[in-house]
Structure 1
């Protein structure tokens, strides 16, 4: 899970702000994502780049990591079997080509790069790949077990070939191997570090891990054994933890950092206005919205049951709640118009989206009718948990204001991020705002999130009209058939309304104008392997 960070904004004039937003008030110009992928300025050799991160990542262990911030650091130190390119297409990274898949879909053969070394000098080969994949699949602390649940065994065919035997056809596997489940760790380091691998990670990457000071910074240095070393220009990257978005922007303007990820939407305009800085955008794969507890009584992975709250019991009231919301006004009011309002978990440009579906617009009259028809006494109490930062508290206030008009009494309950996730998984909430950083394959935006027993299915959704087509879609490689099946999934999910999606969040990366070579794609991960300081 991943949630946007802080945003400083006054709430005293909220009704006036809402009115301005609904009338189409001005918004910051949107930086172009193409600016990052197309930045081909010559980069000089050497130097240290300091990048501000919005939070301290969890342990740098590909098997156990669950944070977006960890994935950002991994782009520099831990390569994968596959990756995505600027067009969100799957491409080989440590593999040499896309896999060879048997006709029955149950045997996947992967050819590997030869002559590659890990950052401790040991050889990268099929045996090392097997060791990492087996650890991802079976390590008791692994968060990758569900990612690779279809994999029954991994065999070494020869030093440059591995064969994966699946229990069932699983088309999303390649996309999983383009994320942490496809990161390959040094077998020597795994043997030496064991459970502590995340404190001293060793993989294949343009940079090697050097040091970490908890809550302060992570340092990585140029890797001398990297197979594509000629493309690496920086000597060192310092990932500096600066949680406050205003401090992050101020450090960027002062030159104390040369890049800063996840600029708050309130700081984007100020950074853009600085003649020494520029802003580029990435992301769009993820989604953000509201989880309504409709069945999570004992934990997201446990059997669902009845939830005794007005919204939990009534799909009609959930519909009324959604009809109370104006996604465009929320975007303008809370995010300066810099996000992408939407009602689907799938990205706007996904080929798997149901093009026939349109999002509901705010309809106060219909919402009031549904509330009256329910027979529930108004105002209807709703406890809304939000992360305790200014952005999400503001979002909660806007939702409170919009739904008050249609008969709901929303109490906004700020809670720290980690505790909120724990309570979400345990089902100890009424309604909560929640986000997902997004994946390139649609299965990654649905499986585990809205299917029965999914670890991140905080709403407790359990419906065969969702589960069955989702399983069928994962088992076929036919894109048209998958699109038809995912249309059924998203349509049924929209009817159940355990999740009300609000928008796809973009990420804004600020940097000094002399910084070049950063690649920033739809996954929102700044890739620094070719970054450096412009030669001119």
Structure 2
């Protein structure tokens, strides 16, 4: 399975090569992001922006290497798993300090994992399978499962709705002190201006070579400033001028302009992931599965992708949730349910389903400009199909707040990288906004997650995808590539879906 996952190195199409020179400590970099993160508690948010910033402050037991294999981070080694798949024993690294100077031990880990299963959507996803989390001694944690749960290691490694380890004394539901074990720590946050992280001099790096998100993490920089720049055109001009050292989430039409810039170069992640329309299956018009399927029938994925990304250099029309480079790729359920572009047929289907003109509230943001462009195209197709469209354009932080309220929306637009483990897909969790919870989902997902054999899991994933297409809890639009920019003076930054700046330094 691992051999077909796309490694980080294959994601880089165009970027300035890192000079093979010694990296020195010192300096400040400014990173332009799409906006203000709604929180700095990565357990309580699935927003990529939250993970991008907070992964520098907080750490998890495991993370992912360049080949997207789970690798130890705060854990000493990979978990020891009993033959029946029900007992995970985690050995912890010794000598790890929190940013408040206290030592990390198993009590902190147990408290943190309990908080994760209580507050985090992905933790709640795992909680139903967990019997207990205990600490036999100060350097060991045991997770006892009710039944085998194959995605657990990957969930513990993920920086999204993350199982971060924080001091046992700082476990309040609402985080007010931001104390982790990461290479950088929070110094100041000025809303809508910047988030200032400074080097944590007590950081204990792993000794092995850097490897994706894993291995050694070197804090060369004195300071990292994450600056919200919500307007996409402003981000483009700032990237071209070299105003920021790294600019995230640029519209793809900026690629050629960046190639000819003097101060910066483009970085293209190919393939990055997929745009997705998530339905509110709990309340409102989209609670009706046949209405959801009628909405899907109306849409032209091809026209939405063309509007959002322009050239097929930056997108591909494909209904398989995972593209062909991944072992998980399957066309199960896709035929007849993708890119129909049939508003007339959709109108008849919606009427037959009992749709009576209720508003279809589409929640989107212009901070990811391609989301907004897709929403515009979708709205026109839905109007042709007789749907009453209510487009709600808000900033990204507001969107992430509103999507948690079942009464406020019918569709929200987001995107996801291609994740190394399908069990990480948020919409598979009944607690994720969308709240997909049906007997068919439970049977397919639980069977998939309980199976440990890689070959059998591939076949079982096809069954899950079949149910996704049969019940339409969300719609994959297609595949897309992501553009960012990097300053010519910045080195040590590898292309990655969630950019990270440990190991980064400024050329002297």
Deviation at residue 441 of structure 1 after TM alignment: 1.4
Q: Which residue number in structure 2 is paired with residue 220 of structure 1? A: 197
Tell me whether 1:267 sits opposite 2:254 in the alignment: yes
Q: Which residue number in structure 2 is paired with residue 500 of structure 1? A: 475
C-alpha separation in 2, matches of 1:132 and 1:391: 36
Q: Which residue number in structure 2 is paired with residue 80 of structure 1? A: 60
Q: Report SS of the residue matched to 1:168.
A: coil
Deviation at residue 423 of structure 1 after TM alignment: 5.7
Tell me whether 1:530 sits opposite 2:503 in the alignment: yes
Contact map agreement 1:53 1:261 (CA 8 A) in 2? yes
The CA RMSD measured in Å over matched residues stands at 3.4
Q: 1:134 to 1:276 in 2, by over 3 A?
A: same
Contact map agreement 1:285 1:439 (CA 8 A) in 2? no
Q: How does 1:389-408 map to 2 (within 5 A)?
A: 389=366, 391-402=370-381, 407-408=385-386
Q: Deviations over 1:68-101 (max 9, x none)?
A: 1111112211121111122222111111222111
Q: Report SS of the residue matched to 2:221.
A: coil
Contact map agreement 1:342 1:359 (CA 8 A) in 2? no
Q: Report SS of the residue matched to 2:157.
A: coil
Q: Which residue number in structure 1 is paired with residue 133 of structure 2? A: 154
- Counterpart selection for 1:240 from 199, 216, 227: 227
- Counterpart selection for 1:330 from 286, 298, 304: 304
Deviation at residue 134 of structure 1 after TM alignment: 2.4
Q: Which residue number in structure 1 is paired with residue 451 of structure 2? A: 476
Contact map agreement 1:385 1:420 (CA 8 A) in 2? no
Q: Which residue number in structure 1 is paired with residue 154 of structure 2? A: 175
Q: Which residue number in structure 2 is paired with residue 297 of structure 1? A: 283
Q: Which residue number in structure 2 is paired with residue 207 of structure 1? A: 184
Q: How does 1:12-27 map to 2 (within 5 A)?
A: none
Contact map agreement 2:333 2:470 (CA 8 A) in 1? no
Q: How does 1:192-203 map to 2 (within 5 A)?
A: 194=172, 197=175, 199-203=176-180
> Tell me, which stretches of 5 or more residues in structure 2 are unaligned?
1-9, 206-215
Q: How does 1:378-417 map to 2 (within 5 A)?
A: 383=360, 385-389=362-366, 391-402=370-381, 407-408=385-386, 411=389, 413-416=391-394, 417=396
Q: 1:424 to 1:344 in 2, by over 3 A?
A: farther
C-alpha separation in 1, matches of 2:290 and 2:104: 54
Query: Is the radius of gyration larger for structure 1 or structure 2?
Result: 1
C-alpha separation in 2, matches of 1:182 and 1:258: 29
C-alpha separation in 1, matches of 2:173 and 2:295: 44
- Counterpart selection for 2:442 from 451, 467, 491: 467
Q: Which residue number in structure 2 is paired with residue 352 of structure 1? A: 328
- Counterpart selection for 2:96 from 116, 124, 147: 116
C-alpha separation in 2, matches of 1:330 and 1:259: 28
Q: TM-score, normalised by structure 1?
A: 0.78
Deviation at residue 368 of structure 1 after TM alignment: 4.4
- Counterpart selection for 2:110 from 107, 126, 130: 130
Contact map agreement 1:118 1:124 (CA 8 A) in 2? yes
Q: Which residue number in structure 2 is paired with residue 342 of structure 1? A: 318
C-alpha separation in 2, matches of 1:59 and 1:250: 27
Q: 1:347 to 1:156 in 2, by over 3 A?
A: farther
Q: Report SS of the residue matched to 1:224.
A: coil
Q: Deviations over 1:381-427 (max 9, x none)?
A: 6735141425444323322445666x445635133253586367415
Q: Which residue number in structure 2 is paired with residue 186 of structure 1? A: 167
Deviation at residue 282 of structure 1 after TM alignment: 3.9
Deviation at residue 352 of structure 1 after TM alignment: 2.2
Tell me whether 1:279 sits opposite 2:266 in the alignment: yes
Q: TM-score, normalised by structure 2?
A: 0.82
120-129 or 351-360: bigger deviation: 351-360
465-474 or 411-420: bigger deviation: 411-420
C-alpha separation in 2, matches of 1:271 and 1:72: 23
Q: Which residue number in structure 1 is paired with residue 4 of structure 2? A: none
Contact map agreement 1:52 1:261 (CA 8 A) in 2? yes
